[in-house]
Amino acid sequence: MIETKTTDNEISMLLNKFGRLDIHENEYPSETFSVGLLDVFDHQLTNQEAIEKIVTYTSTEKVQQKEYLELEKRFLSFFEMVFALNQSGTVYVYCPDFYRQRYKDYRYAVKALKDKEISKLYKKLYRKYQTQRKLALLGKRPTIRDYIFKIQDIDTLQLFAKLSLTECCFSNFFFERTVIIGNYELTLPVYCLDHDLMEELKRKAREVSLYIR
């Protein structure tokens, strides 16, 4: 279920807890959070390793696309694990990029999502907020509430996760005490409000053959 009408209290709660919604712009996150990077690899790659090993989504190269989809399953499983740990049952997804999507971006995303039910959910959401998107493209600045999606089910969470993983549309995912930041090349920054939680997430990541380093 998606509800974008977050209350002033909810926005204040997020700001008080995490400092800002555009948390990817925080230049010194380690001053506030326990910081890690969710990755396929357990170490920082050299330039040559990166050229040889990094896999991202592509709509044209079928072999690479298959490799990407196998990796994507691991990340979606990790998101599901974090969701299960989320005591409030609500995830706030900050996604200004959603309102910047043009029709060609929408068409690309539909193909990239692959999953029929997730694609159907995306199409429904895209149509639902078409009015806000048109106003944004015309220069009318949306309010902060328009950028926040209030999510309470795993399917919608996986939709936004897939949009970030395929680099179609990046989001910041605010869980109870954790933020996962959409990013390029299947490397997602993870911020936790305490060290013990970060250690638990590291163990969860290893269960699906991922690493937080």
Give the mean model confidence (pLDDT) for residues 7-20.
94
Q: Specify the amino acid at residue 74.
A: R
Residue 44, domain member (yes or no): yes
CA distance 177 to 167: 25
Q: In sequence order, what E strands does the chain have? A: 2-3, 34-39, 91-94, 148-151, 172-174, 178-181, 188-192, 211-212
Looking at the domain assignment, is residue 209 inside a domain? no
Q: Picking from 68-82, 102-116, 184-198, which range would have the lowest pLDDT averaged per residue? A: 102-116
Q: Judge whether residue 52 has pLDDT over 80.
A: yes
Residue 203 in any domain: the answer is no
**pLDDT higher than 80, residue 137:** no
Find the domain containing 133 and state its range: 2-23+31-190
Class of residue 52 by CB neighbours under 10 A (exposed 0-12, middle 13-18, buried 19+): exposed
Nearest to 161 by CA among 116, 109, 104, 202: 109
The answer for residues whose C-beta is within 8 angstroms of residue 28's C-beta and 6 or more apart is: none
- Assess if residue 175 is contained within a domain: yes
Phi-psi region of 185 (alpha: psi -120 to 50; beta: other; left: phi over 0): left
User: Average pLDDT, whole number, for the chain?
Assistant: 90
- Specify if 133 maps to a domain: yes
The tokens describing 211, both together, are: 């690493």
Interatomic CA distance for residues 102 and 136, integer angstroms: 11
Number of domains in the chain: 1
For residue 211, tell me if it sits in a domain: no
Q: How confident is the model at residue 75 (pLDDT cuts 50, 70, 90)?
A: very high
Q: Are residues 160 and 151 in contact, defined by beta-carbon separation less than 8 angstroms?
A: yes
Q: Which residues contact 92 (CB under 8 A, 6 or more apart)?
A: 6, 10, 14, 148, 149, 150, 151, 173, 174
pLDDT at 1 over 70: no
Domain membership of residue 56 (yes or no) is yes
Burial class of 47 by CB neighbour count within 10 A (0 to 12, 13 to 18, 19+) = exposed
How buried is 99 (Cβ within 10 angstroms: 0-12 exposed, 13-18 middle, 19+ buried)?
middle
Overall average pLDDT of the 39-44 stretch: 94
Q: What pTM did the predictor assign? A: 0.92
**195 inside domain:** no
Please give the sequence-ordered ranges of beta strands (E in DSSP) within 75-195, or none if there are none.
91-94, 148-151, 172-174, 178-181, 188-192
Cβ neighbourhood burial of 88 (10 Å; 0-12, 13-18, 19+):
exposed
pLDDT category at 16 given cuts 50, 70, 90 is very high
